[in-house]
Chains A and B, each alone.
Chain A
Amino acid sequence: MDTTLFVQLLISGVLLGGIYALASIGLTFIFGVMKIVNFAHGEFLMVAMYLSFWLFHYFRLDPYISILIVAPLLFLIGLLVYRLLIKPTIGAPVLTQIFVTSMVIENLALLFWSADFRTVSLKYLQNSIVLGPFPSLGLEEMIVNPARLIAFCIALSLTVAFYFFLKLSYTGKVIRATSQDRFTALLMGINTDRIFKLTFAIGIMLTGVSGALMIPIYTVHPFVGFEFILVMFVVVVLGGMGSVVGATIAAIFIGIIEVFSGFLLGPQSKEAIYFLVFIAVLVIKPSGLFGLEREEELERIEAID
């Protein structure tokens, strides 16, 4: 493989990873704080993509501007789902509550919006950006997909902003305290129920933003969530459940793996490859690359269960 091709694939992989990162951060955040695996995350992504699509379809609203509408809407949906479904069943078997949500949302979408594949194409995104050539580095011309570049930039800046929100703001500190020890946080006068509600809604909102960023790139259909949820799980586990930084790095790693294995082995095997990576990581280091030490993490999970 020559250098140009290698760099080209690397760029594509990193850009793809950036998109996965934003979608996964919400998932890892919800897991980190609430210790529930949100199987419905992909469906929220799908809803966001549809919202963005319909806003474009009926109002000719640019998907990147529609973020301003989609994100708050998803925040509200998150609050609603938490209130109706997550809170009353928080003691029930971990999985089931979320499965239901996922199933119901997916099929409501099928019911209302049919199984058609829908897509948005934007004029100004049709021309690829050409990089190079850089003769000094031995690189020829490389192509960058503008939609992916924009998505990557927005996703990355949001991730950084979110990271500092968690680190520096009062709410962020309260959320981290709750995540570390729910009961002590409660003793310190933190309203953990409110924090959970907020966490769930913020997690869903982040996914909403990534949904709007994806709509110029991917087609949307009722089962699109299922396609992405598995990738998101891979990213979240690889990065260590609950770790925002870990998820970002893992997402870029997975993006690169996907692009390279797709190129070298053919597109059909790329999914199988990263699932095998996923199983390998689970078996060798279940806490992920950046997660807590295994024992500590397990203790926490078990304390909640």
Chain B
Amino acid sequence: MKPLTEQLKTRQAAVLYIVFLILVFAPLFMKNDFYLDGFILIFLWGAFSGAWNIISGYAGMVSLCHNAFFAIGAYTSTLLFLRLGITPWLGMFVGGILASAVGVILGLVCFRLRSHYFVLATLAFGQVSYIVSVNWRSLTDGAEGLALPIEPSFYGMIFAGKLPYVYISLFLFVAVMAVSYAIEHSRLGYYLTAFRENEDAARALGVKTGRVRLVAMAISCFLAAVTGSLYAQYVVYIDPSSVARLQLSIQVALFAIVGGMGTVLGPAIGAMIFIPITIFLRANLGTAVPGLHMIIFGLILIFVLLYMPKGIYGMLKDKIDRTRGISKSEN
């Protein structure tokens, strides 16, 4: 018989594999658009939260301005398509690169700030980006927003049914997790963790903390922007309050914190918990009880903070590690 550690590992892998298969095939058998919409939202928000997690979870630089990068992605692909006729399939990468550039510039300016100060600087930047998107009317049409044409076309990345969106967003979702996994198991990931735990020690050991963080920032911004583009393509309408609101940053932070910061699966778990709650409440209560979903989010978060400070995935992992530890000592 295999040792317990390997068993646990294979069991974990098997569970993940099954979940993945369910995610891939379940949408095919669903006739109800309502549930498909739920899947798409989970994937998109999970991906956004995962992108946030790269700079905030692994690198420990908690950013509250990811709404800016999401908005850059959404506006870039939409504007390129509307004004220049460039397909969003290309536009989303342009948006991603643009967001990376902005993120790197922001990083160059702000990364020397520590803890609270960095958070506050990003908070200010996030709000500035919202103000800019409202007031730069010649580019963004301000609060009126931009609407994409509704005729389905592959070139315009607009589809009649929801299935293509499900698979595109699933692809992004998996890609973000794969990137996180790759970072976690690469030199970059170890550098980031070392820096997060103790910057001075990491520097003394020769880690170029500045450059490493910039790389993480660039990746994180790129993925956030691509998510923004896809969101715009799915909703077909963007305005500052839907893609540039500061609350978006807070929301994805919330998903990742509840799921487990600095883990591959944490943000995904967070999105899988919160999005269905939101959809369920919206469907059943409508606008009769405004703000209820945020109150419930808050209560869940309080519960998680009090009883699982490392997030849900962090707690599960600890439990598994502990059983492993016991089995080792028994051997």
A122 at the interface (CB under 8 A from B): no
Write the A6-24 contact mask toward B (1 if CB under 8 angstroms, else 0): 0000000000000000000
Q: Given that A115-B290, A222-B291 are contacting pairs, would A272 and B116 also be in contact in the complex, using a CB cutoff of 8 Å?
A: no
The contact of A107 among B62, B254, B292, by CB within 8 Å, is B292
A113 CB, min distance to chain B CBs, angstroms: 10
Chain B interface, DSSP helix/strand/loop, else mixed: helix
- B305-A97 in contact (CB<8A): yes
For A111, A286, A301, the residue with the greatest tally of chain B CB atoms inside 10 Å of its CB is A286
Smallest Cβ-Cβ distance to A272: which chain B residue:
B131
B283 at the interface (CB under 8 A from A): no
- B291-A269 in contact (CB<8A): no
Contacts of B309 in A (CB 8 A): 89, 91-93
List 7 interface pairs A-B (beta carbons < 8 Å), by A numbering: A31-B116, A94-B116, A95-B253, A275-B125, A278-B121, A279-B109, A286-B117
Contacts of B302 in A (CB 8 A): 85, 100, 104
The contact of A92 among B124, B294, B298, B305, by CB within 8 Å, is B305
- A275-B127 in contact (CB<8A): yes
Q: Given that A37-B120, A237-B117, A275-B124 are contacting pairs, would A268 and B131 also be in contact in the complex, using a CB cutoff of 8 Å?
A: yes
Contacts of A88 in B (CB 8 A): 306
Contacts of B290 in A (CB 8 A): 107, 110-111, 114-115
- B305-A301 in contact (CB<8A): no
A50 at the interface (CB under 8 A from B): no
Q: A89-B309, A269-B131, A272-B128 are in contact. List 6 more A-B contacts (CB 8 A).
A: A103-B301, A104-B295, A104-B299, A111-B295, A222-B291, A302-B115
Q: Given that A92-B305, A100-B298, A283-B109 are contacting pairs, would A233 and B291 also be in contact in the complex, using a CB cutoff of 8 Å?
A: no
Write the A268-298 contact mask toward B (1 if CB under 8 angstroms, else 0): 1101100110110011001000000000001
A247 at the interface (CB under 8 A from B): no
Contacts of B294 in A (CB 8 A): 103-104, 106-107
A108 at the interface (CB under 8 A from B): yes
Write the A64-101 contact mask toward B (1 if CB under 8 angstroms, else 0): 00000000000000000000010011011111110111
Interchain CA distance A279-B121 in the complex, whole Å: 6
A181 at the interface (CB under 8 A from B): no
- B301-A230 in contact (CB<8A): no
B interface, size bucket = 35 or more
**Closest 5 pairs (CB-CB, A-B):** A107-B291, A110-B291, A104-B298, A107-B294, A275-B124
B114 at the interface (CB under 8 A from A): yes
Interchain CA distance A94-B62 in the complex, whole Å: 10
B113 at the interface (CB under 8 A from A): yes
A241 at the interface (CB under 8 A from B): yes
The contact of A279 among B115, B125, B250, B257, by CB within 8 Å, is B125
Q: Which of A210-248 contact B (CB under 8 A)?
A: 222, 230, 233-234, 237, 241
B71 at the interface (CB under 8 A from A): no
Q: Given that A103-B297, A108-B291, A222-B291 are contacting pairs, would A298 and B134 also be in contact in the complex, using a CB cutoff of 8 Å?
A: no
A141 at the interface (CB under 8 A from B): no
B104 CB, min distance to chain A CBs, angstroms: 15
Interchain CA distance A278-B124 in the complex, whole Å: 7
Contacts of B127 in A (CB 8 A): 230, 271, 275
A-B contact count (CB 8 A): 121
Contacts of A104 in B (CB 8 A): 294-295, 298-299, 302
B80 at the interface (CB under 8 A from A): no
Contacts of B62 in A (CB 8 A): 93, 95
Interchain CA distance A282-B119 in the complex, whole Å: 11
- B292-A269 in contact (CB<8A): no
- B305-A89 in contact (CB<8A): yes
- A283-B124 in contact (CB<8A): no
Smallest Cβ-Cβ distance to B132: which chain A residue:
A272
Write the B257-289 contact mask toward A (1 if CB under 8 angstroms, else 0): 100010000000000000000000000000001
B36 at the interface (CB under 8 A from A): no
Smallest Cβ-Cβ distance to A266: which chain B residue:
B135
Contacts of B110 in A (CB 8 A): 279, 282-283
Interchain CA distance A299-B306 in the complex, whole Å: 27
- A108-B306 in contact (CB<8A): no
B123 at the interface (CB under 8 A from A): yes
- A241-B291 in contact (CB<8A): no
Q: Given that A37-B116, A110-B290, A305-B115 are contacting pairs, would A271 and B131 also be in contact in the complex, using a CB cutoff of 8 Å?
A: yes
Smallest Cβ-Cβ distance to B142: which chain A residue:
A268
Contacts of B120 in A (CB 8 A): 37, 233, 237, 278, 282
For B62, B114, B298, B309, the residue with the greatest tally of chain A CB atoms inside 10 Å of its CB is B298
- B134-A268 in contact (CB<8A): yes
Contacts of B128 in A (CB 8 A): 272, 275-276, 279
